[in-house]
Amino acid sequence: MPSGNTNNKSAKKNIRFPHELIEEIDACVEREKKDNPNANFSAWVLDACGQKLKSEQDKE
């Protein structure tokens, strides 16, 4: 029974962000758009998660 939350490459996960964090991320994305017009919230969060995972792997 398909839920619409998965495909072959990704899955949806819902997460709540504090308002202040969203505002800070949005401001960062707007600054990033000067160099990368395709910058967006989702890409920023995915990049941050990737950096955190790499940092944790480097500790091992």
How much is the pTM? 0.78
CB 11 within 8 A of CB 26: no
Q: Which two tokens stand for residue 45?
A: 């969060």
Integer Cα distance of 30 and 12 in angstroms: 24
pLDDT of residue 1: 46
| Residue 29, φ and ψ in degrees, nearest 5 | -60, -40
Q: What is the pLDDT of residues 7-55, one digit of tens each?
A: 888 888 899 999 999 999 999 999 999 999 999 999 999 999 999 999 9
Long-range contacts of 3-7 (CB under 8 A, 24+ apart): none
pLDDT of residue 50: 98
pLDDT of residue 2: 57
